[in-house]
Amino acid sequence: MRIVTTSPKGQVVIPKKERDKLGLKPGSKVMVKAVSDHIEIYTLPEDPVEYFCGIFEEGPSLTKALLKGRKEERRREQKKGARLLRSSGIPTSSHGSAP
């Protein structure tokens, strides 16, 4: 365990050995979290999108569920629109939409 000193601005230098071990380079992003009586520093991925790509592959497809929900909603809206057109006396085509 290394001991470092805080600067007047509250900055600390992460020792080279630890930076190398974690792959930290100039400009790397880290998350700092105060936990009870100490601080934890977590490295963040350089490209979060690529890092998390495929993370949900084992579970259900959220995209499929969303598309299914939108398809059902579109069907309900079409039925509702056709019902409104019928009640207004406006003729509709065989596809359920106005001519």
Give the tens place of pLDDT for each residue, 39-66. Answer: 999 998 887 777 777 776 666 777 888 9
Q: What pTM value is reported for the model?
A: 0.46
CA distance 44 to 42: 6
Residue 87 falls in which region: left (phi positive, over 0), alpha (psi -120 to 50) or beta: alpha
**Same domain? 21 vs 62:** no
Asked whether residue 23 is domain-assigned, the answer is yes
Containing structural domain, residue 59: 54-88
Indicate the number of domains in the chain. Answer: 2
Asked whether residue 95 is domain-assigned, the answer is no
pLDDT at residue 62 in the model: 77
Give the tens place of pLDDT for each residue, 70-99. Answer: 999 999 999 888 888 878 777 666 555 555
